[in-house]
Amino acid sequence: MPNVEEVKLNVAASVDQTQRALQTLRGVADSFDEALTRLRLTAIGSGHPSIVDAIASLEQARSRLDEAQSLAASAMSSADNFRSMV
């Protein structure tokens, strides 16, 4: 069984790794935003179902990415709370 210091170190390492993942997700979010902007500009005046579907799918992907970022931030906060109590 790990001692208290080992637990704190492992939790801190998990929080750090999650923070790095969040930084990566921010880059992905920026890429999605750029792709959506480009697609919307390209689709101006077109109501073709394929382009509408493409935009909707990208918007959904972006929304789920926001949800993932929120959940990861919440996990980090909870882990930090746990670490401070141990």
**15 CB-near residues (< 8 Å, 6+ apart):** 76, 79, 80, 83
Q: What per-residue confidence (pLDDT) applies to 73? A: 97
Dihedral sign from CA coordinates of 55, 56, 59, 60: negative
Tell me the whole-structure pTM to 2 decimals. 0.85
Q: Over the stretch 40-76, which tens digit does the pLDDT of each residue have?
A: 999 998 889 999 999 999 999 999 999 999 999 999 9
Query: Quick check: 86 pLDDT over 90?
Result: no
pLDDT at 37 exceeding the cut of 90:
yes
Q: What is the pLDDT of residues 15-33, one digit of tens each?
A: 999 999 999 999 999 999 9
